């Protein structure tokens, strides 16, 4: 996101005034206007994108970072078909720690499954669950979310973005059930910048899991 100095904006016509953005913003940067719509306070906003990840109707976006731009990246990946017998694993990696950790691991010679595709995200808090359901519906075999440490000793650059992502993902089980998919296909991890080798090993573990439980039925 280098160079992206835009602040979040929202499409008022689509807003349901649910207040998820206000509740999840780690910096208390969203107030209400006189008609009870969100009012973004740019002097407090750190541009983490957690509000974008939280919005159930996906009306919050930045100039060059939105549910649609990342969704397009996910859709642009070639997903092998059933007869190719190759899995496709999506990793959504926080650009602050997990993504550089994987980069460093590769530079240090660590190897991980060639079936993985990594998409960097601004903060795990900005991950909207539609990316996960769209990926699974599109035939990805697994989705891994890698973000910073949450909780009291948090290392999340945006305080509770990672925690919010974990909270949302704790509810992804219902979606998986509706899709009749195994819960192992979606997992969330805490990865520090020094955890490159561990992150690589987790990817390999997920590849083994897919080998064990089989390719996604959505390929067939
Ligand atoms: S981008 Fe982050 S800090 Fe700014 S309003 Fe959204 S959640 Fe709050
Ligand atoms: S989360 Fe989305 S729909 Fe809900 S109040 Fe915020 S902008 Fe409106």
How many domains would you assign to the chain? 2
Do 99 and 194 sit in the same domain of this protein?
yes
**CATH number of the domain within which 183 lies:** 3.40.50
From atom 7 of ligand 2, which residue's Cα is the shortest distance away? 15
**Which CATH number does the domain housing residue 37 bear?**
3.30.70.20
What six digits make up the tokens of 218?
């959505």
Q: Which residue has tokens 């949450």?
A: 150
Cβ neighbourhood burial of 176 (10 Å; 0-12, 13-18, 19+): middle
Domain identity same for 106 and 34: no
Domain limits for position 146: 67-219
If you measure from the C-alpha of residue 156 to the centroid of ligand 1, how many angstroms do you get, rounded to a whole number?
14
Ligand 1: which atom is nearest the Cα of residue 25?
7
Give the chain's radius of gyration (CA, Å): 17
Q: Say whether both 209 and 101 belong to one domain.
A: yes
Ligand lying nearest the CA atom of residue 40: 1
Q: Among all chains, which residue has been given the structure tokens 């649609």?
A: 68
Each of the 220 residues of the chain gets a pLDDT tens digit; together they read: 556 789 999 999 999 999 999 999 999 999 999 999 999 999 999 999 999 999 999 999 999 999 999 999 999 998 887 777 789 999 999 998 899 999 999 999 999 999 999 999 999 899 999 999 999 999 999 999 998 877 667 677 777 777 887 888 888 888 888 888 999 999 999 999 899 999 999 999 999 999 999 999 887 6
Ligand 2 mutation target, pool 8, 14, 38, 40, most atoms within 8 A of CB: 38
Measuring CA to CA, how many Å separate 3 from each of 26, 63, 64? 22, 11, 10
The ligand 1 atom at the shortest distance from the C-alpha of residue 44 is 3
Is residue 1 in some structural domain?
no
Task: List Cβ neighbours of 133 (8 Å cut-off, separation of 6 or more).
Answer: 175, 179
| Residue of the CA atom closest to atom 3 of ligand 1 | 45
Helices and strands, number each (H, E), in the chain: 8, 8
Are residue 139 and residue 40 in the same domain, yes or no? no
């Amino acid at each position: 996101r280098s160079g992206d100095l835009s602040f979040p904006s929202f499409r008022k016509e689509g807003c349901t005034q649910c207040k998820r953005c206000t509740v999840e913003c780690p910096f208390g940067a969203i107030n209400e206007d006189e008609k009870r719509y969100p009012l973004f306070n740019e002097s407090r906003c750190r541009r983490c994108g957690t509000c974008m990840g939280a919005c159930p109707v996906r009306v919050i976006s930045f100039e060059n970072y939105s549910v649609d731009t990342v969704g397009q990246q996910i859709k642009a990946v070639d997903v092998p078909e059933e007869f190719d017998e190759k899995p496709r694993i999506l990793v959504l990696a926080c650009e602050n720690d997990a993504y550089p950790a994987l980069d460093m691991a590769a530079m240090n010679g660590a190897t991980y499954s060639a079936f993985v595709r990594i998409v960097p995200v601004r903060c795990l808090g900005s991950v909207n669950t539609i990316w996960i359901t769209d990926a699974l519906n599109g035939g990805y075999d697994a989705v891994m979310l890698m973000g910073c440490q949450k909780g009291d000793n948090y290392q999340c650059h945006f305080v509770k973005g990672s925690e919010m992502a974990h909270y949302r993902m704790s509810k992804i089980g219902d979606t998986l059930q509706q899709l009749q998919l195994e819960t192992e296909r979606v997992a969330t991890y805490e990865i520090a910048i020094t955890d490159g080798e561990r992150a690589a090993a987790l990817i390999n573990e997920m590849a083994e899991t897919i080998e064990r439980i089989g390719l996604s039925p959505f390929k067939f």
